[in-house]
Amino acid sequence: MSIRRLPSELVNRIAAGEVVERPASALKELVENALDAGSEAVRIRLTAGGLELVEVADDGCGMSPDEMRLALERHATSKLPDDVLDRVTSFGFRGEALPSIASVSRFTLGSRVRGADGWRIEIDHGATVGEGPVSLPPGTCVRIEALFDKIPARRKFLRSPRAEYAACLDAVKRLAMARSDVAFVLEHDGRRILSLQPTTPPQRVAELLSAELDRNGIGIDCERNGMGLTGVVSLPTFNRGLADQQYLFVNARPVKDRLLVGALRGAYRDLIARDRHPIAALFLSVPLVDVDVNVHPAKTEVRFRDPTAVRGLIVGGLRAALDEASQKSATREQLAAPVLWTTSATYDQQPGRISALPTSPQSMPAGATAVLEEARALFDHAPPLPAPSPLSPKSRSIRSASRVARSRQPTSSRKLRTAWSSSTSMRPTNALSSRECVPQGKERRSPGSPC
């Protein structure tokens, strides 16, 4: 078997397998490109969870027609102007997203630079089908349709539209938290899901996380050895059964790193059950030379030069904040219905009711007046017992029929049932078998015989 150079179409599909796993990963790449282009507002449209349509429009710097053609080639990017890979500040830098996505979908790229005309390029699963001028506002608009439509082996591994939409929503939330200075609009199947205006990081986190975290959260702000940690975490008593609301960022880059997740879990050790998870949004600031972001094709993992120091900062900072708030407990809003209270006076006035408390001071022993007043005060603050609900005519007839059926039951059958109940209640549970019974006054039957 001889070694050969793979064709460019096959290379793009192989790269797409690393970068584009599902609609959410394609959406993440497009939104990151929009943010790196200096956008102030990003608009996202989804159809069927991204399986049919993913569209991202921004108001960034835009691209000229020549730059658009170059952007659709592999390893072509504008995010590494000085070829320094250990000081990357942009979200993307590989130059593989657009050609990889275009090789597995119907891809439309439209862009316009301010002061120039817009241009559009259409690609169908790696083959260019047309290009020409288009009317667009300044910025870039990318449409992805029929993802993996011509690759059944990849299409069958996609999940339902509901599950894919949940993954897309999670990706948008993470990027929106990372860039609180950018406006985001998300629409799914014609319905607006998110509409976020530029704001501060705490306000953006409050808009995207649980509303109850405002009362059950703890602010984090600590620094050690040139590294900083800010954000918010929930009280140990305010937790979830899934770890789906844990947002971790390294230098404003959303990541899902095992070291950071383990450090968060270690901070809550002995404070939370093993099958429960806290809510957290943590922003870690590390010098660029101490972190490597070129580890995972999707850029969701990072490598630290000193992982022990990073873990110590997270565990120590969270532990200190949790210890300071150890006296707090989670509170949840509960809307209580109004209650009609019964006082001692109205209770005694009810017909046929005998007062449990003496009413005349002459009938009480000396010194019992204060005790009586205290008892009446406690009674006045107690809610009344619920009144039994009246039975409907249908319920009365059913009860009457049940009594008649029991009265017509043979006496021997009633005696046998009573004897069986008394014998089983007096014997240990492990001494009975599921297929034998010992009625009172009868001989023990064989295990195989019915009762």
pLDDT surpasses 50 at 443: no
- 384: amino acid identity, one letter: P
In what helix (H) or strand (E) does residue 187 lie, and over which residues does it extend? Answer: strand 183-188
Q: Which of 98-112, 124-138, 232-246, 398-412 has the lowest mean pLDDT?
A: 398-412
At 76, the pLDDT band (50, 70, 90 cuts) reads: confident
Q: How confident is the model at residue 366 (pLDDT cuts 50, 70, 90)?
A: low
List all residues 6 or more positions away from 5 whose beta carbon is below 8 Å from its beta carbon.
none
> Is residue 445 scored above 60 in pLDDT?
no
Residue 404 has a pLDDT of: 55
Helix and strand numbers, DSSP H then E, in the chain: 14, 17
Domains of the chain: 1-199 (3.30.565.10), 209-326 (3.30.230.10)
Pairing of strands 118-124, 106-112: antiparallel
Across 172-182, b (16+ Cβ under 10 Å) vs e yields: bbbbbbbbbeb
Residue 48 corresponds to which tokens in the numbers above?
Answer: 């069927």
Residue found by looking up tokens 């429009």 in the block: 57
Residue 26 has pLDDT above 70, yes or no: yes
Rounded Cα distance between 279 and 272, Å, is 12
User: What mean pLDDT comes out for the span 31-58?
Assistant: 95
Residue 253 amino acid letter: R
312 burial via Cβ count (<10 Å: 0-12, 13-18, 19+): middle
Closest C-alpha among 29, 10, 111, 35 to residue 70: 111
Dist CA 38 CA 19 (whole Å): 23
- Mean pLDDT confidence for 269-292: 92
pLDDT tens for each residue of 169-208:
999 999 999 999 999 999 999 999 999 999 999 999 999 9
Separation of alpha carbons 51 and 142, rounded Å: 15
